[in-house]
């Protein structure tokens, strides 16, 4: 008996967006895992849909087993159609397929399964931390995507439960595909190589590290105030290095940075954008990584720090305990004093640091792109039955 051919179509616009975001990284690595899995699978075809002028950028990623299908709509037209509720069914253009939409929103389909990836509900739970126009767009469009969905993919058990509760759908309709950690790129660098990268970005001495967008949801003001509470000997020994792009509503963060600097606190920022190839070196150079976010769909930076052998402190909210397990020290993100005490405790206890580093390596091993791509593929194959 011949196997029924599985046809999968991925809306790949997120891979060619002007700003290559965390969603772009997640989609790219998950698709690379899928690409490896379908090698020599003649019963599975995967197509990547993208506006025809951007097809060359998709080719540059080097996928071996995917075909490119050219979409008639550029991203700005797509978004305009979505806002006006004028989207035609996607399968009228590309035929009966299993449609995967990796960026929260989707298109309607007439006779094909639809699978959007909804990463978190920050736009519903903390709308004050999202640019208003983007918040309104996501709120309306994700509601439609969930209603059209045959299955939904998300990135943590916490997000799965929140999506199920908010949209009143069963959790078994939602598949979890965790982000993976690419340990061939993220590992502890030798000291001399770290020093070269530090010089490149104007980073001096020993430091406590934060990596992420400089925005209120990341709770940077609390981190700055906690650093200010550290004993002067610790502040003299360790600067606070903030690595990340400016984000939404960041004026208060930068005002706090300037105030602390005027008071003699050592707050460092790189002298230029830190490229992906240098991230592991910046992580490796840290004495401590602190990520006190107020909410995360998953929270990759703490695991990236652990992969580079850095003791890590993070918040005890949303998906962060799920991501870090027992390998990090977790604190109440709302308590500046608790955060300062945790930083002091870890920095002052070498034995604790060694234990956290060992547990961190074990935790990172749990998150593999190949494993998560397998989960995704298994779910898509179920839809073809």
pLDDT at residue 384 above 90? no
pLDDT at 3: 58
Q: What is the DSSP string of 125-183?
A: H-GGGS-HHHHHHHHHHHHHHHHH-SSEEES-HHHHHHHHHHHT--GGGEEE-PPP--T
- Separation in Å, CA 352 to CA 154, 196, 342, 346: 33, 28, 12, 7
241 contacts: CB under 8 Å, gap ≥ 6:
203, 207, 208, 209, 210, 268, 269, 270, 282, 286
* Four-residue CA torsion sign, 312, 313, 319, 322: positive
Tens digit of pLDDT for each residue in 282-335? 999 999 999 999 999 999 999 999 999 999 999 999 999 999 999 999 999 999
pLDDT at residue 2 above 60? no
Q: Global pTM?
A: 0.93
- What is residue 3's three-state secondary structure? coil
- Separation in Å, CA 244 to CA 12, 145, 189, 318, 358: 25, 31, 21, 21, 27
CATH 3.30.479.30 for domain 191-364, yes or no, is no
Mean pLDDT of 207-228: 95
Range list for CATH 3.40.50.2000 in the chain: 6-180+368-383, 191-364
- Contact by Cβ (8 Å): 175, 379: yes
Tens digit of pLDDT for each residue in 168-198? 999 999 999 999 999 999 999 999 999 999 9
Strands (E), 190-295: 206-211, 238-243, 267-268, 288-291
Q: What is the mean pLDDT of the chain?
A: 94
Rounded Cα distance between 163 and 359, Å, is 30
Q: Quickly state the pLDDT bin for 1 (edges 50, 70, 90).
A: very low
Rounded Cα distance between 282 and 277, Å, is 10
Q: 6-180+368-383: which CATH number, 3.40.50.2000, 3.40.1190.20, 3.30.300.30, 1.20.210.10? A: 3.40.50.2000
Q: Quickly state the pLDDT bin for 52 (edges 50, 70, 90).
A: confident
Tens digit of pLDDT for each residue in 333-374? 999 999 999 999 999 999 999 999 999 999 999 999 999 999
């Amino acid at each position: 008996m011949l196997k029924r051919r599985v046809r999968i179509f991925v809306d790949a616009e997120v891979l060619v967006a002007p700003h290559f975001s965390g969603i772009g990284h997640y989609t790219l690595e998950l698709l690379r895992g899928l690409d490896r899995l379908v090698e020599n699978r003649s019963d599975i075809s995967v197509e990547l849909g993208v506006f025809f002028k951007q097809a060359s950028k998709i080719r540059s990623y080097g996928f071996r087993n995917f075909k490119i299908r050219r979409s008639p709509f550029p991203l700005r037209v797509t978004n305009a159609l979505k806002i006006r509720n004028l989207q035609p069914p996607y399968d009228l253009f590309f035929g009966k397929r299993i449609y995967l939409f990796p960026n929260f929103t989707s298109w309607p389909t007439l006779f094909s399964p639809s699978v959007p990836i909804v990463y978190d509900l920050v736009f519903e739970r903390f709308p004050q931390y999202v640019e208003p126009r983007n918040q309104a767009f996501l709120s309306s469009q994700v509601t439609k995507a969930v209603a059209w969905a045959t299955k939904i993919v998300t990135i943590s058990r916490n997000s799965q439960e929140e999506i199920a509760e908010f949209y009143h759908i069963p959790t078994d309709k939602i598949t979890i595909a965790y982000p993976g950690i690419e340990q061939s790129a993220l590992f502890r660098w030798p000291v001399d190589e770290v020093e070269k990268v530090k010089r490149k970005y104007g980073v001096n001495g020993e430091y406590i590290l934060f990596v992420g967008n400089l925005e209120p949801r990341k709770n940077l003001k609390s981190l700055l105030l906690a650093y200010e509470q550290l004993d002067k000997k610790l502040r003299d020994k360790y600067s606070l290095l903030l690595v990340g792009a400016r984000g939404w509503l960041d004026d208060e963060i930068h005002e706090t940075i300037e105030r602390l600097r005027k008071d003699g606190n050592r707050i460092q920022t790189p002298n230029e954008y830190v490229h992906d190839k240098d991230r592991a070196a910046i992580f490796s150079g840290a004495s401590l990584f602190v990520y006190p976010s107020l909410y995360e769909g998953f929270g990759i930076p703490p695991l990236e720090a652990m992969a580079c052998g850095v003791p890590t402190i993070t918040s005890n909210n949303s998906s962060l305990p799920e991501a870090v397990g027992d390998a990090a020290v977790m604190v109440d993100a709302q308590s500046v004093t608790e955060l300062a005490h945790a930083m002091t405790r870890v920095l002052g206890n070498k034995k604790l640091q060694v234990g956290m580093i060992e547990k961190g390596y074990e935790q990172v091993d749990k998150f593999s792109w190949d494993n998560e791509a397998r989960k995704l593929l298994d779910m898509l194959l179920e839809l073809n039955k």
